[in-house]
Amino acid sequence: MFRSLCIGLAMAAFLPFADSAVAACRRVTHLTQDYAVCGFDPATSDIRIHHRGRDGLPYGGFENLARDLRQEGEYLEFAMNGGMYESDLTSVGLLVTDGVERKPIDRGHSWGNFYLKPNGVFFLKGDRAGVLETEAYMDADPHPDFATQSGPMLVIDGALHPAFLPQSDSLQIRNGVGVDSAGKVAFVISLEPVRFHDFATLFRDQLDCANALFLDGSISSLFAPGLDRYDSIHPMGAIIAVTRKMPGFQK
């Protein structure tokens, strides 16, 4: 069930419903469970990772990001929380924005989903996107324009994460990201609580993603006007967004 949120009307009032953004998102059923799936081609869509605003503070939510973008002559077309964060909204692991490493990669061991190894990195470089488990990312050393680290990996080179159990009773709202065989990025959020195993098989078996990464669970949030989603319940750290330039904008 979609969450009904207070900023929906305010956000919709100043966001144009571009046909491409509306068409990019759809509802998908997998193993009797429903998901919102939004797909974008990094060669034709402006996908970036955002964290801090013009005031130097973490955005914390989609509304603040959309407001800043408008001042730069851009519309927010799609957004999703982009990884785990500390209490001050700084990223737990690697964060790269605009080619600058804001937080180094975390190869350590601890408790929680982030450290359920292997974890991994979603990154953007030029007109390409990728998802790699952390050690493979380090070996590849892609020098990305944007990157965010999270965990666990959902799918690793076509195989499910070894810790996932088909009959697990851990059911949560979850969101994640994968890149399919054509190089397109699939952003997914469950519309009901699901187990890791079922979430991962959606990416592998239905969305053709050989590599996919879990982004978060309880705070999973989505900005997708085509699906009437303008989530604002939870604060968030990094935000992955798709934007479009305002025609004729001049500063």
Is it the case that residue 170 has pLDDT exceeding 50? yes
| DSSP collapsed to 3 states, the chain | CCCCCCCHHHHHHCCCCCHHHHHHEEEEEECCEEEEEEEECCCCCEEEEECECCCCCECCCHHHHHHHHHHCCEEEEEEEECCCECCCCCECCCEEECCEEEECCCCCCCCCHHHCCCCEEEEEECCEEEEEEHHHHHHHCCCCCEEEEECCEEEECCEECCCCCCCCCCCECCEEEEEECCCCEEEEEECCCECHHHHHHHHHHHCCEEEEEEEECCCCCEEEHHHCEECCCCCCCCEEEEEEECCCCCC
Dump pLDDT digits (tens) for 222-234. 999 999 999 998 8
Would you say residue 40 lies in a domain?
yes
Global pTM value: 0.92
| Residue 17, domain extent | 8-103+110-245
Would you say residue 188 lies in a domain?
yes
Is it the case that residue 206 has pLDDT exceeding 90? yes
Would you say residue 30 lies in a domain?
yes
Is it the case that residue 86 has pLDDT exceeding 80? yes
Tokens of 73: 């002559």
At residue 218 the predicted structure's pLDDT band, cuts being 50, 70 and 90, is confident
Q: What pLDDT is stored for residue 234 in this prediction? A: 87
Tokens of 193: 């609580």
Is it the case that residue 12 has pLDDT exceeding 60? no
Would you say residue 207 lies in a domain?
yes
Instruction: Give the gyration radius of the chain's Cα atoms.
Output: 17
Would you say residue 250 lies in a domain?
no
Calpha distance 25→35 (Å, rounded):
10
**How many domains does the chain fold into?**
1
* Sequence-separated (6 or more) residues with CB below 8 Å from residue 30: 198, 201, 202, 205, 206
Would you say residue 131 lies in a domain?
yes
Dump pLDDT digits (tens) for 64-74. 999 999 999 99
Tokens of 140: 């590849």
Would you say residue 3 lies in a domain?
no
Is it the case that residue 5 has pLDDT exceeding 50? no
In Å, what is the CA distance from 144 to each residue of 6, 61, 83, 124, 141?
A: 36, 24, 16, 6, 8
Would you say residue 36 lies in a domain?
yes
